[in-house]
C-alpha cells in the first residue's frame, strides 16, 4: 500500500509542477534585414576604423548643477555609394557598458572628471538622444539618401552635469548602427 501511495504522490507532484510552469502569454518579435550597402564615415574616418570627436576644454564653473550642458561639438556620419532600396537613414546609438541605462547618456568610462556624462544630440532638430532607447526611431531626424546614394547625418555631443562637477578628463564611446528605411 505504501508503495502505491508513494507512486501516486510522485505523479501528483509532477503534474502540479507542470501547472506552475504554464504559459502566461506570447511575445512576437519582428525585424527586417535589408540588402543595403554603403560606405560609412564619421567626419571622414571610414569604418571600421574608430573615429574620435574631441570636445572643447571647459571650466567646471559651467557645469555646477545637474542637467547643465556645455561644449556642444558637432560631428557628421556620412554615407556614400549606398546601393539598395532604402531612401532614408538615421544612426541608432546602441546601449552598452558605456551607456547610463536611466538617462541614455554616455558615462565617463576612464576619465578622471567627476559628476559629468556626455549627451548625444540630433543636430538637425536639437533634441537629446537617449542611447539604447528605441524612441530614437521616431525622435531622431531621418536623412534622405540622394540620387547618388549619399547622405549626411549631423549629430553633436556635449558635456552634461550629473551634479557639481570636478576637474579631470572625460572619456567615453558609443556603438552605432545605421537604420535604413
Tens of pLDDT, residue by residue over 82-130, are 988 889 999 999 999 999 999 999 999 999 999 999 999 999 999 999 9
Q: How far apart are CA 176 and CA 106, in angstroms?
A: 13
Where does the pLDDT of residue 57 fall: very low under 50, low under 70, confident under 90, or very high at 90 and above? very high
Residue range 144-157: mean pLDDT, rounded: 96
Residue 17 reports pLDDT greater than 90 = no
Residue range 64-91: mean pLDDT, rounded: 94
| pLDDT given for residue 13 in this prediction | 52
* Local structure of 58: helix, strand or coil: coil
Place of cell 559651467: 62
| pLDDT given for residue 2 in this prediction | 58
| pLDDT given for residue 30 in this prediction | 76
Indicate the range of 15-24, 56-65, 147-156 predicted with least confidence.
15-24
- Residue 40 Cα distances to 36, 44, 72, 90, 149, angstroms: 12, 9, 23, 12, 12
| pLDDT given for residue 20 in this prediction | 53
Residue range 68-72: mean pLDDT, rounded: 97
| pLDDT given for residue 44 in this prediction | 92
Tell me how many helices (H) and strands (E) the chain has. 2, 9
- Residue 65 Cα distances to 52, 68, 137, 170, angstroms: 27, 6, 30, 17
| pLDDT given for residue 99 in this prediction | 97
Where does the pLDDT of residue 156 fall: very low under 50, low under 70, confident under 90, or very high at 90 and above? very high
Amino acid at each position: 500500500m505504501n508503495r502505491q501511495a508513494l507512486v501516486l504522490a510522485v505523479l501528483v507532484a509532477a503534474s502540479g509542477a507542470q501547472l506552475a510552469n504554464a504559459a502566461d502569454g506570447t511575445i512576437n518579435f519582428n525585424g527586417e534585414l535589408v540588402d543595403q550597402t554603403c560606405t560609412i564615415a564619421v567626419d571622414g574616418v571610414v569604418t571600421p576604423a574608430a573615429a574620435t570627436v574631441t570636445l572643447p576644454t571647459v571650466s567646471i564653473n559651467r557645469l555646477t548643477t545637474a542637467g547643465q550642458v556645455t561644449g556642444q561639438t558637432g560631428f557628421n556620419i556620412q554615407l556614400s555609394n549606398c546601393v539598395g532600396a532604402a531612401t532614408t537613414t538615421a544612426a541608432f546609438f546602441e546601449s552598452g557598458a558605456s551607456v547610463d541605462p536611466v538617462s541614455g547618456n554616455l558615462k565617463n568610462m576612464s576619465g578622471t572628471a567627476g559628476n559629468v556624462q556626455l549627451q548625444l544630440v540630433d543636430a538637425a532638430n536639437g533634441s537629446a538622444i537617449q542611447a539604447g532607447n528605441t524612441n530614437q526611431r521616431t525622435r531622431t531626424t531621418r536623412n534622405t539618401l540622394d540620387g547618388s546614394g549619399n547622405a549626411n547625418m549631423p549629430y553633436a555631443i556635449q558635456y552634461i552635469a550629473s551634479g557639481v562637477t570636478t576637474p579631470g578628463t572625460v572619456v567615453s564611446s558609443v556603438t552605432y548602427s545605421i537604420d535604413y528605411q
